Structure 1
Amino acid sequence: MTDASAIRLVVSDVDGTLVDRAKQITPGVAAAVARLRAAGLPFTIISARPRSGLMPIAETLAIDAPMGAFNGGTVFTRDGR
């Protein structure tokens, strides 16, 4: 069992993991991310998608932690940094 206090960041892939077959965030995923935030755990995403393909997800989930596009080749934040 993992000590929850040792977790500093939760990172998820997008396609085949975070979005459904229609490439949409489900209410269950949104609720899970909200529970992570309520527990004080930051959440972010990484994907082979380009930055433009991640931004709608980042907006929907209000991700403020750095994200990785192009399998981590580009690291950026939602505000453009």
Structure 2
Amino acid sequence: MALMITDECINCDVCEPECPNGAISQGDEIYVIDPNKCTECVGHFDEPQCQQVCPVDCIPLDPGHQETKDQLMDKFLKLTGKA
């Protein structure tokens, strides 16, 4: 699954620079995650870095974008040009 940012987001800006895929950006009201770029940090790190630094724990799995670890790895390979 890709991750998502909920409306509990306080716009603290700590998640955006941690994303190795550039999937996080400022939305209209809160930060948002592009599910086409989010790999849950598969291929980069053992755990999603945005979740690790979020002070309000507002970055859960996005039930609207379910993916297996293999699918996330395939996405990582395509995004990094290693496919």
TM-score past 0.5 threshold: no
Interval containing the TM-score (normalised by the shorter chain)? under 0.3
The structure in which a higher percent of residues are strand is 1
Higher relative contact order (CA 8 A, sep 6+): 2
The structure in which a higher percent of residues are helix is 1
